[in-house]
Amino acid sequence: MSLEMFIQHFLNALTLGSLYGLIAIGYTMVYGILRLINFAHGDIFMLGAYFVFWGGALFKLPWGLAVVAAIAFTSFCGVLVDRAAYRPLREAPRISALISSIGVSFFIENLCIVTFSAIPRAVHVPQWLGQVHLIGKVRLLPLAVVVPIVSMVLTSGLLWIVYRTKPGLAMRAISKDIETTRLMGVPVNRIIAITFGLGSALAAASGIMWALRYPQIHPFMGVIPGFKAFIAAVLGGIGSIQGAVLGGMLLGFIEIMIIAFLPALSGYRDAFAFVLLIAILLVRPSGLMGEKLEEKV
Amino acid sequence: MSAERKKLLSVAALSLMALFLWWAQGHLDGYKIQILNLVAINIILALSLNLIYGFTGLFSLGHAGFMAVGAYVSSLLILPAAQKETIFLLEPLVWPLSVLQAPFFVAVLAGGVAAALFGLLISLPVLRLGGDYLGIATLGFAEIVRVVANNLPGITNGALGLKGIPHYANIWWNYGWCLFTLYFIVRIVNSNFGNVLKAIRDDETAARAMGIDVLRCKVISFALGAFFAGVGGALLASLLTTIDPKMFLFLLTFNVLMIVVAGGLGSISGTVIAGVVITVLLEWLRFVENPIDFGPIHIPGIPGMRMVIFSLALLFIILFRREGIMGMREITWDGLACACRRGGKDRG
């Protein structure tokens, strides 16, 4: 493989890995706090992309404003999902909330088909982002630089919130012991809502950038990236934000590089992540950076 | 009530059912018979998931994968050799499969056994996980099966799928298998082994402390569930006469899960009732996706509305009636007799 080709693949993997990482953060935060695999997270990601499309096509918003509005609105949707479908099940067995999230996932997807129709839509890409620059033989899309930087900035912001602010402290406390935290006078439900809001905002950002990179959106676009990002979160160690970013990056590189070096396997692309999941669960269930989860007797 | 009397009542109920099916075959149109067939297959699938999840407490989302295995294996065994030659356009079918033929019953059995073997294969690594992780791992397995089916044109015909599968799965085959599944699972659940499974579901640590070989019991339950899922898939393939990898998406598992949750986890009667109700509703709800004309008023069909209503129904059940239709109760002859007596007294 020539060096140019390798750089090309490297850039693609970097973009894909950053996008996975941003989605994985939402999974890892919710799992860390509620021990819930939020199946609907991939659909929240899809909503982010659709809201930008909608803001531009229906309300004629300028692109930048549409992006901000879409992130805010998606974040609100995430909070709404928690309030309607997960909060009533806090005291129920854990699997109930998981089934509820599967229901929410199908609900959002089909509501999208009803309102936007199932036809894939082309996405408007602003020119400064979509223009290809040729550097030597490498085709450089500005997105390949913008996506990792945006994702890094967003992740740093999130880490600042989680480790340097009061709500962040409360989040970490809840993930250690929800009952004790409640007894300390922390408004637990409000903190959980904030967590869902933050996770959904990051998923929206990822969805918007995903739509720019692969400029087509459809109601089921979130399913596969959602599963893969969850796997990335498990890979990095569920409950750890840094782990989610690392896992996302790792998964992005594994996917792109396997296809680059073994093109015969490209048809199996969507299966790599699942094989990896089963392998990691066998070898090191706590992931790369996660804490060991002990079974309580 | 004496055991003999119960047996008599069961035989009477069965003959009544057979009489109804015989009547249905002569008098109902093809569409309604198709729904009757789907009811039987969905009950088989839901019973098998209820054995795995409702009675053993293993949250498995791999049903679509087992069904795919069963469907492909049995279809390849019943496809006539000539048909195999015409549909395998991308690559000819590999040797032993291209000549292998089996009668329908054997083919369905083989589909079930193949699915059970797959179940065994993945259960060893996966069943060490608990709860939600198990769900994701089994879901991953189902996705792997689908991707592999898409990429092995020499065996599965790739994305084109198999067409022209002989339509052997008539009402008698489907209800025969459904009855067998029902009988088998009732016997298991009421046996000592069934008690062991329920013990594992209710408290795994306590069960282990009692000296139960937890992993072994889980593996057996999982493989049995996979067997019936494979049988369901095999029957479905012959009923629809065409399969392709796109058919075995997560949506298929979702429908089965919906029946189990709606019927009540750990209730066989509940699963049967919910299997009938939900299959019929799913078909009946198609009307919301077709245009409706009320004289001058024209309501255009809304694609996707059916699943919106359905996912809302699942959410409603899980939020407001988590125990489903039946909870963990069962309908028994004793229970019915009791209800009748009470009803009689109220009237008298």
Q: What is the pTM of this model?
A: 0.91
Residue A277 in any domain: the answer is: no
B318-333 in b/e form (b: 16+ CB < 10 A) is bbeebebbbeeebeee
Cα-atom radius of gyration of chain B, to the nearest Å? 21
- What domain range includes position A36? 23-221
Residue A251 in any domain: the answer is: no
Partner-chain residue, chosen from B125, B136, B143, that has the shortest CB–CB distance to A37 = B136
3-state SS class at A165: coil
Written as six digits, the tokens of A148 are 């990792």
Residue B105 in any domain: the answer is: yes
Residue of A nearest to B122 (CA): A278
Among B126, B218, B118, B139, residue whose Cα is nearest residue A278? B126
CA B229 – CA B119 distance, rounded (Å) = 10
Residue B327 in any domain: the answer is: yes
- Note down pLDDT in tens along chain B; length 348 residues: 788 888 899 899 999 999 999 998 888 888 899 999 999 999 999 999 999 999 999 999 999 999 999 999 999 999 988 888 888 877 777 777 777 888 999 999 999 999 999 999 888 888 877 778 888 889 999 999 999 999 988 888 888 889 889 998 889 999 999 999 999 999 999 999 999 999 999 999 999 999 999 999 999 999 999 999 999 999 999 999 999 999 999 989 999 999 999 999 989 999 999 999 999 998 888 877 777 776 677 767 777 788 898 899 889 998 988 888 888 888 888 888 888 887 766 544
Residue A15 in any domain: the answer is: no
Chain B residues touching A278 at Cβ < 8 A = 122, 125-126, 137, 140-141
| Tally of CA atoms within 13 A in the half-sphere of B320 that contains its CB | 7
Which residue stretches of chain A have pLDDT < 50? 295-297
CA-angle at A130, arms to A124 and A134, nearest 5°: 160
Distance from CA of B204 to the nearest CA of A (A): 10
B79 CB neighbour count, 10 Å cutoff: 24
- CB distance from B301 to chain A under 8 Å? no
Residue B348 in any domain: the answer is: no
Written as six digits, the tokens of A17 are 């890995």
Residue B21 · residue B172 · CB < 8 Å: yes
Q: Rounded to 5 degrees, what are φ and ψ at B10?
A: -65, -45
Residue B194 in any domain: the answer is: yes
Q: Rounded to 5 degrees, what are φ and ψ at A228?
A: -65, -40
CA A252 – CA B266 distance, rounded (Å) = 41
Q: With an 8 Å Cβ cutoff, are B322 and A227 in contact?
A: no
Q: With an 8 Å Cβ cutoff, are B128 and A282 in contact?
A: yes
Residue A231 in any domain: the answer is: no
Written as six digits, the tokens of A35 are 């021990």
B residues 253..292 contacting A (CB < 8 A) = 254, 257, 261
Residue A243 · residue A289 · CB < 8 Å: yes
How many domains are contained in chain A? Answer: 1
Residue B347 in any domain: the answer is: no
Partner-chain residue, chosen from A96, A107, A282, that has the shortest CB–CB distance to B312 = A107
The per-residue pLDDT for B96 is 78
Q: With an 8 Å Cβ cutoff, are B147 and A267 in contact?
A: yes
Burial of residue A31 (CB within 10 Å: 0-12, 13-18, 19+) is buried
Partner-chain residue, chosen from B132, B304, B315, that has the shortest CB–CB distance to A95 = B132
Chain A residues touching B135 at Cβ < 8 A = 37, 95, 98
Give the type of residue at B115. A
Residue B76 in any domain: the answer is: yes
Residue A269 · residue A252 · CB < 8 Å: no
Residue of B nearest to A297 (CA): B205
Written as six digits, the tokens of A61 are 């918003």
Among A227, A25, A36, A276, residue whose Cα is nearest residue B131? A36
B residues 33..62 contacting A (CB < 8 A) = 59
Give a three-class secondary structure readout of A252-290: HHHHHHHHHHCHHHHHHHHHHHHHHHHHHHHHCCCCCCC
Q: With an 8 Å Cβ cutoff, are B303 and A103 in contact?
A: no
The per-residue pLDDT for A292 is 58
Chain A residues touching B124 at Cβ < 8 A = none
Pairing of strands B297-299, A216-217: unpaired
What letter would DSSP give residue A109? H
- CB distance from B125 to chain A under 8 Å? yes
* H or E element, residue B256: helix B250-263
Residue of A nearest to B312 (CA): A107
Among B282, B184, B286, B272, residue whose Cα is nearest residue B228? B184
Q: With an 8 Å Cβ cutoff, are A100 and B319 in contact?
A: yes
- What domain range includes position B265? 3-342
Residue B157 in any domain: the answer is: yes
B99 CB neighbour count, 10 Å cutoff: 9
| Tally of CA atoms within 13 A in the half-sphere of B150 that contains its CB | 19
3-state SS class at A218: coil
Tracing tokens 């989860």 back to the chain, one arrives at A293
Find the DSSP H helices in A35-140: 41-57, 63-81, 94-116, 127-130
Residue A171 · residue A195 · CB < 8 Å: yes
Q: With an 8 Å Cβ cutoff, are B132 and A94 in contact?
A: yes
* H or E element, residue B271: helix B268-284
* H or E element, residue A229: helix A223-236
Residue A3 in any domain: the answer is: no
- Beta partners for residue A140, in sequence order: A133
Residue A65 in any domain: the answer is: yes
Q: Estimate the share of chain A in helix, then strand, then coil, as percent rounded to the nearest 5.
A: 75, 5, 20
A189 CB neighbour count, 10 Å cutoff: 13
Partner-chain residue, chosen from A100, A227, A281, that has the shortest CB–CB distance to B133 = A281
Residue B226 · residue B119 · CB < 8 Å: yes
Chain B residues touching A85 at Cβ < 8 A = 315, 319
How many domains are contained in chain B? Answer: 1
The per-residue pLDDT for B27 is 85
Dihedral of CA atoms B47, B48, B49, B54 in degrees, nearest 10, equals 70
Among A261, A226, A230, residue whose Cα is nearest residue A244? A230
Partner-chain residue, chosen from A106, A230, A295, that has the shortest CB–CB distance to B254 = A106
CA A9 – CA A288 distance, rounded (Å) = 24
Q: What is the CATH number of the domain that holds B111?
A: 1.10.3470
Chain B residues touching A88 at Cβ < 8 A = 319
What whole-number percentage of chain B has pLDDT above 70? Answer: 97
The per-residue pLDDT for A105 is 95
